[in-house]
Structure 1
Amino acid sequence: MRLVAGGALKGVFLCFASICAWYSGYLLVELIPDVSLSRAVYGVRSLGVKPVLKAPVPKRQKCDHWAPCPPNTYAYRLLSGGGRDKYAKICFEDELLIGEKTGNVARGINIAVVNYITGKVTETRYFDMYKDDNSGPMTKFIQSAPEKSLLFMVTHDDGSSRLKDDAKKAIEALGSKEIRNISFRSSWVFLAAKGVELPAGIQREKINHSDKKKNRYNGWPAEIQIEGCIPRKPS
């Protein structure tokens, strides 16, 4: 009888212990937030997994340069038009001086004048060299630019059909080596300085001509660009 009573008592004790364990587990689940449990499960699963290293997103530079310009320099980027619908752009110190978004770009030669000392844009103009005779007005515009100015020039569509010798001479006087090579729909970009000597190492000019066999724009020359950094202190 004692053995039977002892066995019955142990059975009751085990049953009670099971109920207590179940209830304790229930309380634990209710009291601990789901987020903590999820993190704990994720932590267990992540043991032994190699961490994935992600490269930081590169910081955007002025005028979309790949690398930042040194201190005390101006950043610039000149992009000619490409084909009929890809408009030219002139960026200076991360400001779009000429472009489709600013609404001041058109067929011909687009020019922006910037004060070298302050870095502020003085004026922007475009001169249609296909339909109207704008060679004379453009010559006067270039020659009237103040001393210690930067002049940025880019073409869109055609910049040569009505470009006369007076304008070519004015641009040559600013240091252009390619203005006399410009032809129908040539892509051309040029950085000039008036009353200031620019360092010899900076990129200042580039030209590209039409090529029907190789060009993606069906005979229209592809866009070209130059970019660089100009010392803020004039020579």
Structure 2
Amino acid sequence: MMVRAGCNNFMKLGGFIFASVCAWYLGSLLAYMIPEDSLASTFDSLQNIAEKPKIKAPPPKRLKCDHWSPCLPGSYAYRILSGGGLKTFAKICFEDQLLISQENKNAGRGINIAIVDYNTGKLVDAKYFDMWEGEFSGPMTNFIRNAPQRSLLLMVTHDDGSTKLTEDAKKAIADLGSKEIRNLRFRSSWAFIAAKGFELPDSIQREKVNHSDKKKNRYGGWPAEVQIEGCIPKNEQAQF
């Protein structure tokens, strides 16, 4: 009985060894017959099937002057941003062009003004007038009154725009439709858009102001910035 059991065990061991050799041989044969690139590609495909599909949203399209919503065709886009604190200067953007900015080195303390030809959308002139140091109310008044007919005037403050603002200058701006120019205080943040020789649509926000308040100021002695942005229909909408 013991001899018979030993024979059975020997046959099983031999069968196991034979099966292992056959498996190794077949594996080697398949590896030789199938290119390595195909095996790698198959493995990658199996991995990709297991992974969840990745859906990438397209990046948001940038709008003119960093608007939140696009202007209709046949409209001008604009954005007027007051200065904030000592180091953040005013900006005036029109049709995605910075007309006044620190980058352009033409923004400064006081009242910043850009004049744009309404017919062409091109810049006529851009300057800033210091209302704290020096006497610039007179030159600013002439600058405003000499703006050509059918032009847009975009105005914004940085730092103080009121200390040396004369009544004559206030009247020149009030004549363009400003309701707040006579209410400006020391370092009030103010933005305004006006038209000369035609009327802007009633839907356009023309003016915004934020007065200096030591209890609420964001920058210590300066109130937070204000901005107005919008779209102006081109020539066919003009009213005289």
TM class by shorter chain equals: 0.7 to 0.9
Deviation at 1:127, TM superposition (A): 0.4
Deviation at 1:15, TM superposition (A): 6.4
Paired with 2:90 and 2:132, the residues of 1 have a C-alpha distance of: 16
One-letter code aligned to 2:45: R
State the TM-score, normalizing by the size of structure 1. Answer: 0.88
- Contact conserved, 1:150 with 1:192, CA < 8 A, in 2? yes
Query: Which of 1 and 2 has greater Rg?
Result: 2
1:95 alignment counterpart: 97
SS at match of 1:124: strand
Paired with 1:200 and 1:12, the residues of 2 have a C-alpha distance of: 94
1:70 alignment counterpart: 72
Deviation at 1:31, TM superposition (A): 3.7
Deviation at 1:38, TM superposition (A): 1.8
- How do residues 46-195 of structure 1 correspond to structure 2 at under 5 angstroms? 46=51, 49=52, 51=53, 53-195=55-197
Q: Is the alpha carbon distance of 1:223 and 1:38 closer, same or farther for their aligned partners in structure 2, counting shifts above 3 Å?
A: same
Paired with 1:130 and 1:18, the residues of 2 have a C-alpha distance of: 93
Q: Is the alpha carbon distance of 1:104 and 1:33 closer, same or farther for their aligned partners in structure 2, counting shifts above 3 Å?
A: farther
Number of residue pairs matched? 227
Deviation at 1:90, TM superposition (A): 0.3
- Structure 1, unmatched stretches of 5+, are 1-6
- Contact conserved, 1:191 with 1:205, CA < 8 A, in 2? yes
Deviation at 1:215, TM superposition (A): 1.8
Q: What stretches of structure 1 move > 3 A for 4+ residues in a row?
A: 10-17, 33-36, 51-56
Paired with 1:184 and 1:73, the residues of 2 have a C-alpha distance of: 35
Deviation at 1:53, TM superposition (A): 4.8
1:26 alignment counterpart: 31
SS at match of 2:102: coil
Paired with 2:20 and 2:120, the residues of 1 have a C-alpha distance of: 88
- Contact conserved, 2:114 with 2:125, CA < 8 A, in 1? yes
- Contact conserved, 2:216 with 2:223, CA < 8 A, in 1? no
Q: Tell me whether 141-150 or 33-42 shows the greater mean CA deviation.
A: 33-42
Deviation at 1:55, TM superposition (A): 4.0
SS at match of 1:222: coil
Deviation at 1:211, TM superposition (A): 1.3
- Structure 2, unmatched stretches of 5+, are 1-11
SS at match of 2:214: coil
Identity of aligned residues (%): 57
Q: Is the alpha carbon distance of 1:52 and 1:40 closer, same or farther for their aligned partners in structure 2, counting shifts above 3 Å?
A: closer
CA RMSD between the two structures: 2.5
1:4 alignment counterpart: none
Paired with 2:42 and 2:146, the residues of 1 have a C-alpha distance of: 72
Paired with 2:16 and 2:47, the residues of 1 have a C-alpha distance of: 35
Q: Is the alpha carbon distance of 1:104 and 1:38 closer, same or farther for their aligned partners in structure 2, counting shifts above 3 Å?
A: same
